[in-house]
Amino acid sequence: MMVDSLVKGVARFHRSYFRKNRSKFAELVRDGQNPDTLFITCADSRIIPHALTQSEPGDLFVMRNVGNMVPSHRPGQECSSTGAGIEYAVSVLGVSEIVVCGHSHCGACAAVYQTNHPDELAQHIQASGA
């Protein structure tokens, strides 16, 4: 996608969606975010969380990563960015639900099940329980 398309998309967002929902955005600025749900999904460009769930701004705290994978955490181990995001959503934002959204034909998930992994990736896969 060319930068020009992105700029035009932002302009369309401001002209239409933002104008129609100005009061909701003002409320979110004033009161902060208070989502009920942490939505973890794949970074795949075909996934559009808010369109999929028909949620509004402020409803979801969305985390995207390759393959929507959540690595296991072991005591004494550094927290992954996914783990840090989950901790923030639960402890700071107070979300009451966590949804992990998968999708068909995920290349990242397919790669996990291949047998020819570089040693470093194979160790991570085993450690995460995938």
Dihedral sign, Cα of residue 42, residue 99, residue 72, residue 111? negative
For the cut 60, the answer to whether the pLDDT of residue 129 exceeds it is: no
Residue 25 three-state SS: helix
Kindly give the pairing relationship between strand 60-65 and strand 37-42: parallel
Residues labelled catalytic: 42, 44, 46, 103, 106
pLDDT for 68 equals 81
When the candidates are 3.40.1050.10, 3.40.50.720, 1.20.120.420, 3.50.50.60, the CATH number that belongs to 33-128 is: 3.40.1050.10
pLDDT for 72 equals 74
The DSSP 8-state label assigned to residue 78 in this structure reads: P
Give the tens place of pLDDT for each residue, 79-100.
Answer: 678 888 999 999 999 999 999 9
Residue 101 three-state SS: strand
What ranges do the domains of the chain cover? 1-31, 33-128
Q: How far is CA 13 from CA 19, 94, 101, 109, in A?
A: 8, 29, 26, 33
Tokens of 76: 């004494």
Number of residues that make up the chain: 130
Dihedral sign, Cα of residue 105, residue 66, residue 94, residue 53? negative
Kindly give the pairing relationship between strand 97-101 and strand 60-65: unpaired
Q: How far apart are CA 32 and CA 76, in angstroms?
A: 33
Give the tens place of pLDDT for each residue, 27-85.
Answer: 999 999 999 999 999 988 888 999 999 999 999 999 998 888 787 777 777 767 888 89
